[in-house]
Amino acid sequence: MALWGGRFTGQTSDLFKKFNDSLPVDYRMAEQDIVGSIAWSRALQKVNVLTKDEQVDLEKALNDLLLVVKANPEIVLESDAEDIHSWVEGKLIDAVGDLGKKLHTGRSRNDQVATDLKLWCKDEGDRIYKLLVGMQQQLVDLAIREKTTVLPGYTHLQRAQPVTFGHWCLAYVEMFDRDITRLKNALDRLNTLPLGSGALAGTAYPIDRYALAKDLGFSQPTMNSLDAVSDRDHVLELLSTASISMVHLSRMGEDLIFYNSGEAGFIEMSDDVTSGSSLMPQKKNPDAMELIRGKCGRVVGSLNGMMMTMKALPLAYNKDMQEDKEGLFDALDTWQICMEMAQLVIIGIKVNRAKTLAAAQQGYANATELADYLVAKGIPFREAHHIVGEIVVAALAKAKPLEDFKLSELQEYSTEIQEDVYQHLTIEACLEKREVLGGTSTTQVQLAIQALQEGGEIVAKTPSLGGASINQISLALQRAQQRLNAQKAEALSVRPAKLSDVNELDRIITYWSDAGETLPRTRDDLTHNILDFVVAEIKGKIVGCASLFIYGTGLAEIRSLGVDTESQGLGQGRAMVQYLMEKARELELARILVLTRVPDFFEKLNFTHTNKDKLPEKVMKDCDICPKKECCDEVALEYMVDIAQATDAINIDTVE
């Protein structure tokens, strides 16, 4: 059944119907169309277009249809409906008769499809977010496993300087971290509700669009009806994010394909992600990464196609926009399966450490160290560079490494070279000197892994920094893990609290304060300090909360941590604490305190015991309202976000 047939007296051709119909593509939005229709029925009931009984009947029929679609999404394709909207409406009319025809009152397919697509993007974005975090975690795990493995670093595909395999892994962790940021930003921007915008001028019914937005999980309604029905920026942004991330996957694939080649032989990929040759039995081809590299062009092509579709469209809706979904669906499907496959590849990689070390020792990667050695002897760098270049020419002619030259041979080029030069020419020396922020010291990668495995910060002796700074590589790895923890928390639906959450915060905190586990908080206190709180959700329902109270001297305290009893054991409490720990780092706080009766929980998150009697007075003042003040059984723990900042904060607290 067409939704627009009244104006026409003739039939459309079969060719036009095939050309025009979008059901073979947009059937994937069936769940979103039904969910949006349920919310619209509630909005219509509030403005008396539907009676309460009519709304109940419609919602029940739509929920029944939702169950059918969830059980078999492709059942929609058995229909000859024009699009998903006409399919849902047709099924609704089959179920409730003419009542089903009332649902479209005040609504257009223009604002309906815009809403469906944004709902689909939100759902898909959550899945992709989790995959990106998982991709990072696999790379961090590989970095841990290969923390001391020497790998030749390249520029122009020429051996340049040695790095570690762990350092290579962390380069891609950084890339995927930027992808996560881009995805989060895109999802934040698309979180506005078009429904209620009508065809282009807004609906004629007094719909409360703010309430409708909240009902469908959007942050707010769109502000301009013309823009709302014709906006596809969210499609372009997701395609752009997918394209950049696929470029990262493709670059990683190229590295691994080269590392896996017979010429390099640095790694071997597992059998479950490789294939053989139909002719040559010795072959083991890196097909998974080659396909990822190839599919990158497919995703970028979808972005280019959508850009060209949108570039000259007048306001408002045009049928061209029907082209938005096929490329988007394919691109995001491709992105997801490529991330899943890349994770499987990373898990199964075996590194040939002997070959990576041998390759790093070739190519005169220590030439830069020899130049730095001469600079330390007082020779200007440009002159030192020239001297070492001449030595390398001689080394190439003799086919021997620099470290095999006799001292007398080296002194032919500079008398400043002494016996101590050889300690600067080893691979170990090349690596260990790279302790600057973002560098590749094998020793400090080892310390960083130790920090991750045992908990706490690692302080390394760095004479140039006074002997008490966190080693930069250790800090980089630790912060990478902290970011992952925070991102996992968000993947578990931890988010900042909003004023509309006050009732749920009050419910949870009152329950646990009545049980004697947390301090009571008034509603006014919750309202005024809402920015301190985060909440945890399961399927849109708030099940937990926590707050980070900042004292203003680099010191903060985690308070009001509580999770509904029926939702415990699912990781929500841990996720909220990790979210607040990352927030503290972003705010450049130094020290987090907690007073608790469950120290084991916080110890697993790298908190350590501290003396409660030595806490600043301002931390302890809330104890005055605690019913257990005279027989307190809480213990104090602390977490040092940054050693240097924490030292300053402790000094300030001691003075106060």
**CA max distance for the chain:** 101
- The SS3 assignment for 393 reads helix
Q: What is the DSSP string of 573-587?
A: HHHHHHHHHHHHHHT
Give, rounded to a whole angstrom, the gap between the first and last alpha carbons of the chain: 76
Q: Are 292 and 337 in contact (CB under 8 A)?
A: no
Instruction: Report the candidate in 256, 434, 441 with the shortest Cα–Cα distance to residue 351.
Output: 256
User: How many CB atoms sit inside 10 A of residue 309's CB?
Assistant: 19
Q: Are 144 and 449 in contact (CB under 8 A)?
A: yes
3-state helix, strand, coil in the chain (%, to 5): 60, 10, 25
Instruction: Give a three-class secondary structure readout of 306-375.
Output: HHHHHCCCCCCCCHHHHHHHHHHHHHHHHHHHHHHHHHHHHHCCEECHHHHHHHHHCCCCCHHHHHHHHH
Residue 316: is the preceding peptide bond cis (ω within 30°)?
yes
Q: Which of 156, 408, 464, 500 is catalytic?
A: 156
Q: Are 508 and 537 in contact (CB under 8 A)?
A: no
- The SS3 assignment for 461 reads coil
Q: Are 485 and 578 in contact (CB under 8 A)?
A: yes
Q: Which amino acid is at 498?
A: K
Q: How many residues does the chain have?
A: 656
Q: 591: which residues sit within 8 A by CB, 6+ positions away?
A: 554, 555, 556, 638, 639, 640, 641, 645, 646, 649, 650
Instruction: Report the candidate in 518, 521, 535 with the shortest Cα–Cα distance to residue 597.
Output: 518
Residue with tokens 């009676």: 51
Lookup: tokens for 656: 């106060």
Angstrom distance (rounded) from CA 366 to CA 420: 15
156 is catalytic: yes
Q: Are 316 and 230 in contact (CB under 8 A)?
A: yes
Q: Which of 219, 277, 386, 609 is catalytic?
A: 277
What are the CA-CA distances from residue 169 to residues 337, 350, 429 (Å)? Answer: 20, 14, 21
Q: Are 446 and 483 in contact (CB under 8 A)?
A: no
277 is catalytic: yes
Angstrom distance (rounded) from CA 643 to CA 635: 22
User: How many CB atoms sit inside 10 A of residue 331's CB?
Assistant: 26
Q: What angle do CA 408, 410, 413 make, to 5 degrees?
A: 115
Instruction: Give a three-class secondary structure readout of 241-289.
Output: HHHHHHHHHHHHHHHHHHHHCCCCCCEECCHHHCECCCCCCCCCECHHH
Is residue 279 within a helix (H) or strand (E), and if so which, with residue range? Answer: none
Angstrom distance (rounded) from CA 629 to CA 595: 13
Active-site residue set: 156, 277
